[in-house]
Amino acid sequence: MADTIRVTVWNEYRHEKISDEIAAIYPEGIHGAIAAYLRGLPGVEVRTATLDEPEHGLTEQVLSQTDVLTWWGHMAHGEVSEEIVDRVQRRVVLEGMGLICLHSAHFSKPFKRLMGTTCNLRWREIGEKERIWVVEQGHPIAEGLGEYFEIPHTEMYGERFDIPAPDTLVFISWFQGGEVFRSGCCYHRGRGKVFYFRPGHETLPIYHQKEVLQVIGNAVRWAAPVKGPAPTFGNVKPLEDV
């Protein structure tokens, strides 16, 4: 665990190129904001990749050098090729890469593939307040947070969130308009780990907020691969002479 963690920050990167309003909030793209924060952490090496690059920037070589992949997408989930989704899934399940899915990436192809459910939810965009409660204080993703933190204006995501029950539920959100949401969800999938984190929106400066970035940083450390052998699958000989 002492080694450098190699992170690839992936972004759909469309909203920022179409909307001046969004570009003003994220002049280097959402990936730029997240990458800038992660670059400030010790022992973390960061690159970025975006949808419109060849192979969405996720070539076999890039993925093979990625310990943790963070994913943000929203308007163009459908344009992500099945081949790249296969590749991401394999890299997580068979080789242990961590995957951190942010906000609207609940509907991204890699997340839906790894969950097996629709990952659908209720939503509302009126800029209401969100209060994120820490319900598992001993989990490393909660390191350094208070009992809760607030996002003053956000898009609401509400239950029923159609996901498998997380292995560990770290955060639950309260929304001013009356909903709750499982906002920080940890999963083991094969040799890899997956974290879903709710906050974030293209028209709001949420990826500039201290606590949100801190959670993403904590999640990167939690999701880093664990050293061990590829599992043996298929036909095997008896281990016992019985």
Out of 18, 24, 75, 226, name the contact with its own copies by CB under 8 A.
226
191: left (phi over 0), alpha (psi -120 to 50) or beta: alpha
**Cβ-based neighbours of 146, under 8 Å, separated by 6 or more:** 134
Rounded to whole angstroms, how far apart are CA atoms 137 and 147? Answer: 8
For 112, half-sphere exposure in the C-beta direction (CA atoms, 13 angstrom radius) is 16
Which residue lies nearer to its own copies by CB, 19 or 137? 137
Site string for its own copies, 126-145 (x = CB under 8 A): x-x--x-xxxxxxxx-xxxx
User: Considering Cα of 32, then 37, then 40, then 44, what sign does the dihedral take?
Assistant: negative
Pairing mode of beta strands 168-175, 180-189: antiparallel
For the bound state, the minimum distance from the C-beta of residue 217 to its own copies, rounded and expressed in Å, comes to 11
Residue span binding its own copies (CB under 8 A) among the ranges 51-59, 74-82, 152-160, 197-205: 152-160
Q: Is 94 a residue that touches its own copies (CB under 8 A)?
A: yes
For the bound state, the minimum distance from the C-beta of residue 130 to its own copies, rounded and expressed in Å, comes to 11
For the bound state, the minimum distance from the C-beta of residue 28 to its own copies, rounded and expressed in Å, comes to 28
Residue 104 is given by DSSP the state: G
Residues 169-198 binding its own copies (CB under 8 A) are 169, 172-180, 182, 187-193
Q: How many CB atoms lie within 10 A of CB 228?
A: 8
Which residue lies nearer to its own copies by CB, 54 or 228? 228
- How many residues bind its own copies, per CB under 8 A? 80
For the bound state, the minimum distance from the C-beta of residue 125 to its own copies, rounded and expressed in Å, comes to 8
Residues 10-29 binding its own copies (CB under 8 A) are none
State the burial class of residue 69 (Cβ atoms within 10 Å of its Cβ: 0-12, 13-18, 19+): buried
Rounded to whole angstroms, how far apart are CA atoms 177 and 86? Answer: 38
Residue 98's DSSP bridge partners are 68
Q: Is 4 a residue that touches its own copies (CB under 8 A)?
A: no
Q: Is 210 a residue that touches its own copies (CB under 8 A)?
A: no
The most distant pair of C-alpha atoms in the chain lies apart, rounded to whole Å, by 72
Which residue lies nearer to its own copies by CB, 28 or 95? 95
Which residue lies nearer to its own copies by CB, 160 or 208? 160
Structure tokens at 226: 């664990």
Q: Is 115 a residue that touches its own copies (CB under 8 A)?
A: yes
